Structure formats: C-alpha cells, structure tokens
Amino acid sequence: MAIRNVAVVGTGAVGAALAKNLVRSGIGVELSALDMKVATEIAASLGKGAKATETKALGESVDAVFLAVPAEAAPLVLEAAKGLRPGTIVIDCTNPIKWDAGPVAATPAEGSMTAHLAKKFPSLRLVKGWNTFGAEFHERPELGGGKADLYYAGDDAAAKGDVGVLARAMGFDPVDVGPLRNAQHLESLAILWIHMATVGGRGRDVAFKLLPR
C-alpha cells in the first residue's frame, strides 16, 4: 500500500518542516497538535493538500503518522488517536534525551522509544526514522550536491517498504538499517548529531551520509 495521506502530529520546527516537504512532494497532510490554532495556521499557509485535524479525529484516511513531538509525549499522542485503524504505520521521529552539558540518552526499558511504543500499541506498525538530523533537512534534504540519508528501522517489512518509497519521494536517500531492535542505535546516532550540532560547534547544516568507496 502506497502512503498517500499522512498525519503529522506536532507543529514545532520539525513538524512544520515535515509538513512543507510532504505537501511539496504531493502527499496529503493532516496537521495535529496540542495547540490546534497553530496547526490550522500552518495548514492554511501550505494551501491545498494540507488541513488541520484534532488528534482524536485522525482516522482511516491516514496511511501513516509522523510523531514529531517530544519523546515523552509520543505515548500520549497514540493514546489520543483512537480512530487510527489497525495496521497504520507510525513513524517515530522522537529522541528520548535529557540535557547535561550536552545530550544524554533517557532510554525506556525496551531499549528505544520506538520499541516502547510498539509494545504499548501492538496494533500499529512502528518504524523509526527522520530522527538523525535537524528540521532544516526535514524540509530540504539537499546535502553538498547530494541527498541526506534517511535511516529507518522496524520489524514490518511491508511498512518499511512503504516508508522507503515515501522517503525517496521526499528527496532523501533511504537506508534500511534493519529490525526494530536497531532503533536504539538510531537514537544514539541522533545524540551524536545533536552533540556535534550544538556543544560540538559543527552547526545544524550537517547530516550523515553513507558513501561508497
């Protein structure tokens, strides 16, 4: 099943950037947030192809959900989205971290936030992705004449296939990094990126890329 309509939950820098990229790529977007006024304003600015929908009203028209919220809010979002049909793809963009002179992992017992969500919501198909770079790349994946890599992990092969197609349509080079257990390594990679972009002094205009020899 191709992903044609998605929900983006979260209207911060990442959520807004994702929505812009998705609409530009021809994907229908339903924007949802705690502050629906902001969601409505962003949807209106994107024009045709975007609308604001309360999380509790998200339903069968949505093929996939991007979680672009703080990690601790991700379970609350899926608890509220009771209308999602079983089998809906959920793309977990979150990174469970705390700050101590730089980013530090605050990992759930399951090993990653994605694994935690998969255990808590077994009817949904969880995929980790879109978490290893900043909002600038969510909107525009261009990188030094090429494209930023989009690393993703999950246990459902069909869901990952659809996610890979979506990532390419959005301008990324998709890279399947394996099963759900590897989501923890993507969260660690995100910590490395955040460190380099902030206290490491590299700035935000950097992204990871696998290059052939």
User: Is 94:131 a contact under the CB 8 Å cutoff?
Assistant: yes
State the number of CA atoms in the 13 A half-sphere of 126 facing the CB.
Answer: 25
The 3-state secondary structure of 28-82 reads EEEEECCCHHHHHHHHHHHCCCEEECCHHHCCCCCCEEEECCCHHHHHHHHHHCC
User: 108 to each of 64, 90, 181, how far by Cα in Å?
Assistant: 23, 18, 13
Q: What is the pLDDT of residues 29-65, one digit of tens each?
A: 999 998 999 999 999 999 999 999 999 999 999 999 9
Q: Characterize 162-189 residue by residue with b for buried, 16 or more Cβ atoms within 10 angstroms of its Cβ, and e for exposed.
A: bbbebbebbbbbbbbbeebebbbbbbeb
Nearest CA to 165 out of 177, 173, 156 is that of 173
User: Does residue 21 register a pLDDT over 90?
Assistant: yes
Average pLDDT in the 60-72 region? 97
Q: Three-state SS for 120?
A: helix
Domain boundaries along the sequence of the chain: 5-197
Q: Alpha helices of 140-198 — where are they, by DSSP H?
A: 157-169, 183-197
Average model confidence (pLDDT) across the chain: 96
pTM: 0.97
Q: What is the pLDDT of residues 167-192, one digit of tens each?
A: 999 999 999 999 999 999 999 999 99
Chain centroid to Cα 118, Å, comes to 15
Percent of the chain as helix, strand, coil, to the nearest 5: 40, 20, 40
Q: What is the CATH number of domain 5-197?
A: 3.40.50.720
